[in-house]
Amino acid sequence: MNLKKMMSFVLVSLSLISITTAQSSQLKELDINLENYDYPFPVHFITLNNQHVKLEMAYMDVHPEHPNGKNILLLHGKNFNGAYWEQTAKRLADEGFRVIIPDQIGFGKSTKPANYQYTFQQLALNTKAILDSLGIEQTSVLGHSMGGMLATRFVLMFPERTDKFILENPIGLEDWKLKVPYKPVDWWYQSELKKSYEGIKKYQLESYYDNKWKPEYDEWVNLLAGWTLNTDYPIIAWNAALTYDMIFTQPVCYEFKDVTAPTLLIIGQRDRTALGKPLVSPEVRATMGNYPELGRQTQREIKGSQLVEIDNIGHLPHIEAFDRFIEPLVKFLKE
């Protein structure tokens, strides 16, 4: 790198640090269940009693003005909650779909239990309980990131309740425990306790957006970082640690061959997300999170599935490139 380019890089970096520091100083502390954060649609709750714990599970139920008689379930990723589906839900409702958007237990406005055995099977049962309470017999299921692993488990457990199945840059297309050394829940907990606004934004900037930040991305940093200011943050960190363990120890990739629902894969081709990358050598790291190949491999495993590859887009197509995400989704749902 020549001197001129180096100076330019330094100035840009300093500018970014200055902006980040200013933003972090204005960060709002968020309640453990986001009582002081408004969702885009009215929030409802269902009471669950499992594992000797009474839990409140939040969800949004978006009704279309002109119903087409079909429903769709939107399942969020690990670093998010149902609020980030706002634009997607509005468009799907405009197309006539009733849209159900849960916050899983441990996430968003739902209960953060002190002790809970997290399994994708349990989360699928919790999600089904919402549908049962609403009298919804059949629905399409869309899962993003960790929500893709949950969506996969849901459609495997309840094929008779599944209309269509959509995976948007899901994690779990590969089995990371084959490459990443196991870390106990306590290790993940300590890692979560160290999180900060600066670290969260740096991860999202590099991992999600190819170092190209837009103001509308701030909300998804602030939601996570605002929790770190709360005195109850250790409870949130503990739940996050438990869900990391669930992800690593409960792969779904071996069961894609058993999916029978019509399936669409929407895969941002720049994505290289893989949990545990810092724990392995650079050589092993280079073999993880190859979404272009993983998407094609998964398409081969799910009989009759369709694959939409979105060039130069990362882990969040519905945030980073909404139009390129929503058009194939709507087309598939209307087929």
pLDDT digits (tens, 9 = 90+) for 179-212: 999 999 999 999 999 999 999 999 999 999 999 9
Closest CA to 197 of 224, 170, 161: 224
Task: Please work out, in degrees rounded to the nearest 5, the angle formed at the alpha carbon of residue 169 by the alpha carbons of 100 and 191.
Answer: 95
pLDDT at 25: 55
The two three-digit tokens of residue 149, written as one number: 């692993």
Q: Indicate the pTM of the whole model.
A: 0.92
pLDDT digits (tens, 9 = 90+) for 305-322: 999 999 999 999 999 999
The two three-digit tokens of residue 301, written as one number: 């495993």
pLDDT class of 23 with cuts at 50, 70, 90: low
For residues 108-119, give the mean pLDDT.
Answer: 97
Angle between helices 86-94 and 322-334 (to 10 degrees): 40
HSE, side-chain direction, 13 A CA sphere, residue 48: 27
pLDDT digits (tens, 9 = 90+) for 117-128: 999 999 999 999
- Torsion sign (Cα): 298, 302, 308, 313: negative
pLDDT digits (tens, 9 = 90+) for 216-275: 999 999 999 999 999 999 999 999 999 999 999 999 999 999 999 999 999 999 999 999
Q: Domain spanning 28-180+251-334: which superfamily? A: Alpha/Beta hydrolase fold, catalytic domain (3.40.50.1820)
Query: Collapsing DSSP states into helix, strand and coil, what is residue 159?
Result: helix
CA 222/CA 29 separation, integer angstroms? 9
Measured between its terminal Cα atoms, the distance across the chain in Å is 52
- Match 């969506």 to its residue by tokens: 151
Stretch among 2-11, 87-96, 296-305 having the lowest mean pLDDT = 2-11
**Dihedral class, residue 159 (left if φ above 0, else alpha if ψ from -120 to 50, else beta):** alpha
Domain residue limits, the chain: 28-180+251-334
Please provide the size of the chain in residues: 335
Burial bucket for residue 211 (CB in 10 Å: 0-12, 13-18, 19+): exposed
Residues facing residue 143 across a β-bridge = 75, 167
pLDDT class of 26 with cuts at 50, 70, 90: confident
Q: Are strands 53-62 and 98-102 parallel, antiparallel or unpaired?
A: antiparallel
pLDDT at 167: 98
